[in-house]
Structure 1
Amino acid sequence: MGNFTSKPASTPNTMKKDFLKVEGTKITLRGEEVVLKGTAIGGWMNMENFITGYTGHEHQVRAALKDVLGEEKYEYFFDKFLEYFFGEEDAKFFVSLGLNCIRVPINYHHFEDDMNPRVFKKEGLKHLDRVIDICAKHGIYTIIDLHAAPGGQNFDWHSDNPTHKAAFYDHRDFQDRTIILWEHLARHYKDNTWVAGYNPLNEPTDEKHVRLIDFYERVEKAIRKIDGDHILFLDTFAADFSHFGKPLPNSVYTCHDYSNYGFPSAPELYTGTKEQIQLHKDAFERKTEYMRKHKGPIWVGEFGPVYQNAHDNIPNWETVNDSRFDVLNLQLDIYDKAKASWSIWVYKDVGFQGMVYAGEYTPYVKLIWEFLQKQKRLAANKWGADDTQVRDLFKPIEEWLTANAPTIKTRYPSSGGVNDSWNVSGHLSRLVRNILLSEEMVKEYAELFRGKSREELDELAKSFKFDNCTQRTRLNEILKKDSRRGEKGGHAQISEKAL
């Protein structure tokens, strides 16, 4: 078993009062409201294909790279990748924007192997501890988010699930292992007041709606036996809380609030019409209905557009980006009026959505550049995909599926239901492009690393070091401006605690 001993962040006399807690509609510290504003380190301890440029799923690309590099160089590369991806300079930059909270997605594979379950790796917490400590040093709260649970709590790539089924709900053992993992994490961080709380599952997709509720009740009891202080941040797929009853104590129920107008699939260019503005307001009202009904805090756990670049071959790419920044400003205005906390997706990537990114002239992006362009042409990955070049190929198959199996139009999740981005096209593309095609392309990605020396691997990993990254200046200016709203409950107050 790994060493999960706790590391207190406060003295016994101050520890209890220094925890954030839920009081009515507010998250508070010592009775004063705190609005958490920040981002997520997606693509780090839970890798996602569009964030770091591979295809398929994390465990697949890791296995392929281990075959190409061998065990020793594989371990070296990923240790350096985790080290460089977030460090001291990242935290300093984050604080300079006035932001105060970072959501940290993690994959259970860092802590145990499927062929050796319940035996926790000694090195599992090495980088998580390091980043949480760095953030605490700079007055930044962290929220630990289990983005990938055993069996897959949802059916998508971001839970490292290679299938289109969420087996987590069908096998008690997967749920039991997840409970045990949270018990260990709770023991380790129970005295750390800079951990704002725990996000037990990211975007869980339970189509029966009741199994997730039962799991949340189980995991809450298990965590509370060990750690009675930290907030639980609870979400469900597409903010569908229609089957939930009374909220659990000291818990924040969260929503993810992506706008279709921030993606290539936008129904039209966002121009700020009354109808478009109202559409966003209505969506937010729907997604936060449960929180408002039960008079609890609101935390938007994910939101944010993707952005186009000059090399995307879109003539009006700058105009498109202008419209997406306008969408972002609208959403931030809506959140401000609701006094909602938020975490924009995502902090760092390869130039798709991140606040900072590994630019095209870094060793890593230069290495995979042609592969990135191929992914885009084929719409191999789901997130923010532009299927323009393959749409005509898939359209007849969509029509054939609909004609011969019309129930596919209401397949969970269905368009107009819990998530309006899911339709026949969405189900078809996931199975054919995002799974079958994408996992075959993993081999092509891995071959780009063949023969690389330790020195070369270090330079590739170093592409993600803050000093080597490019800042998305306009995005960061918008976030910095928003962080100054209501400073009394924001970073200014939290900095006093750091002193």
Structure 2
Amino acid sequence: MSSLQNGSVSSSGKGPPCSLLCVRGRDIVNASGNKIILKGAGLGGFLNMENFINGYAGHEHEFRTQMAEVLGKDKAQYFFDRMIHHFFTEEDAAFFASHGLNCIRIPFNYRHFIDDLNPDVIKLDGFALLDRCVEICAKYNLYVVLDLHAVPGGQNQDWHSDSGITRALFWEFKDFQDRVITLWEAVARHYRGNPFIAGYNPLNEPADPTKDANGHYGARLVAWYARVEKAIRANDPDHILFIDGNTYAMDFRAFPDEPLPNSVYAIHDYSMMGFPIGEQYEGTEQQKKQLRASFERKVEFMKKRGVPVWNGEFGPVYASPHKVKGGEAEANEVNKKRFALLKEQLSIYRETNTSWSIWLYKDIGYQGMVYVDPASPYMKLIQPFVEKKERLGLDFWGVVNKDSVKHIYEPFIAGLRAEISEKHARTKYPKVWTFGRHVERVVRECLMSEYVGWDLAELFRGKEKEELEELAASFAFKNCKGREELNNILRIDCAN
């Protein structure tokens, strides 16, 4: 279905009733001892917004600040509250469950629970937001993984940790680390014994640049995981921990041989062959081998230690007719390759009994199972800004090509790169990023995005609550469209 307004969905989830899950050997099992494979999606853009999902530029806290300046604090807060309300409702849960999916990963931002100017007090408003979502999922027999996606100082160098910079300060300040321990203690107390909570994902995509004695990155991360595990277990001895590897959930070399008890270890298995820039997936045997080799490298730790694997994020970015030169015909051809890549990845996960959570459930049109209608009030308002972002290459996820800005950045980066010795060209962590990529993240995705972000806020100037409600309601399920082929692929996989 291209439109969701008249779509019919089941009233409850499939499979056995949700019960407390635990780890038994290589498996996740329910209270009856039956093996459970978690299959679901991430609810990004909801309690942790992201630029390419919600449409702004840069970082969430900057967007909120700019909107408060233009609209006033009360009306800005009203708009964000209503967007959150419409973003996930019973209609979304029913649609989700109708596909046979059984688990929703809920990313949340620490700012819903911690005020940086009063950090010792946990805000109860954050629990009200999470509780509403968990209660909706419970009605449809859906498990929930609680994913802390953004922490004080930022646990990684990217926009989705909402730090505003490209440095992960979380690892440099014990105060930041202590605050998050306190937050997880409160969350564990709150959800102790709740059968609809599959478990806790303490940190999304950590990227700790500190080395251990063997020269592997992640020394502080490993120490912090040991702390948070003890803190959570003191308040909730039963729920599973979903432990992301270092360097964006891809590296476990610094992890100790003895796994944490009742824990599932999590990878993120994106393939760049599913993104607009670079090699495209053609389904060759070499590419299939490459996909499998990448997956096997990431799960080597789990296989050696006999623990379950959870792929917390993966998924291609899809082409839209207005973003490619050849229009609908070219977009369809591109997406045929992206869907083939997705199918191949899912086949790997089936063969290896890997639980997974695709990224993403809902957005403004890049990769969500459902997306905001281009004809909605919100998209009609922000579309010129989205096009400007794409032209300037401000969102890494939303860059179709770099042609429109290469005349600016290529000579700039080349001139700067010429001053860096070959010996030190790859010294900055993460080393897999080139010098040019590091520059882009600072200049385009932080500095330029913060400046340009004001253009979006100005589009809301003068709007009253009735208009803001209409804009926020663009994210409601009935006002969204479904990515038919993606949803069909997921439905078939869940039926197998």
Determine helix, strand or coil for the equivalent of 1:18.
coil
Judge which range, 254-263 or 387-396, deviates more.
387-396
The one-character-per-residue Cα deviations of 1:258-297 (angstroms, maximum 9, x if unpaired) are 0111101232x32111111100000000011111111111
Shift of 1:408: 2.9
Counterpart amino acid of 2:413?
E
Equivalent position of 2:41 in the other structure: 39
Judge which range, 117-126 or 187-196, deviates more.
117-126
Contact 1:20 1:196 in 2 (8 A): yes
Equivalent position of 1:224 in the other structure: 233
Give distance in 2, aligned partners of 1:284 and 1:205: 19
Contact 1:37 1:342 in 2 (8 A): yes
Give distance in 1, aligned partners of 2:56 and 2:25: 43
Shift of 1:395: 1.9
Counterpart amino acid of 2:138?
A
Give distance in 2, aligned partners of 1:92 and 1:176: 38
Shift of 1:55: 0.2
1:356 to 367, 370, 381: 370
- The alignment yields a C-alpha RMSD, in angstroms, of 1.3
Equivalent position of 1:412 in the other structure: 429
Structure 2 length as normaliser, TM-score? Answer: 0.92
Determine helix, strand or coil for the equivalent of 2:493.
helix
1:392 to 407, 428, 451: 407
The one-character-per-residue Cα deviations of 1:41-95 (angstroms, maximum 9, x if unpaired) are 0011000000010001000000111111112212211111111000000000001
Task: Give yes or no for the alignment of 1:21 onto 2:22.
Answer: yes
Task: Give yes or no for the alignment of 1:237 onto 2:251.
Answer: no
Structure 1 length as normaliser, TM-score? Answer: 0.91
Equivalent position of 1:12 in the other structure: none
Contact 1:356 1:471 in 2 (8 A): yes
1:262 to 263, 274, 279: 274
Give distance in 2, aligned partners of 1:301 and 1:391: 33
Shift of 1:393: 2.5
Equivalent position of 2:293 in the other structure: 282
Equivalent position of 1:430 in the other structure: 441
Shift of 1:471: 0.4
Equivalent position of 2:91 in the other structure: 89
1:314 to 318, 322, 325: 325
Counterpart amino acid of 2:231?
A
Counterpart amino acid of 2:160?
H
Counterpart amino acid of 2:429?
Y
Contact 1:401 1:408 in 2 (8 A): no
Detail structure 1 runs of 4+ shifted over 6 Å in the superposition.
Answer: none
Contact 2:152 2:163 in 1 (8 A): no
Percent identical pairs in the alignment equals: 51
Contact 1:106 1:147 in 2 (8 A): yes
Contact 1:112 1:119 in 2 (8 A): yes
Determine helix, strand or coil for the equivalent of 1:193.
coil
Task: Give yes or no for the alignment of 1:251 onto 2:263.
Answer: yes
Determine helix, strand or coil for the equivalent of 1:125.
helix
Determine helix, strand or coil for the equivalent of 2:63.
helix
Counterpart amino acid of 2:22?
K
Equivalent position of 1:368 in the other structure: 382
Determine helix, strand or coil for the equivalent of 2:107.
strand
| Structure 1 unaligned residues grouped into runs of 5+ | 1-14, 416-421, 486-499
Contact 1:255 1:302 in 2 (8 A): yes
Give distance in 2, aligned partners of 1:266 and 1:336: 27
Shift of 1:384: 4.2
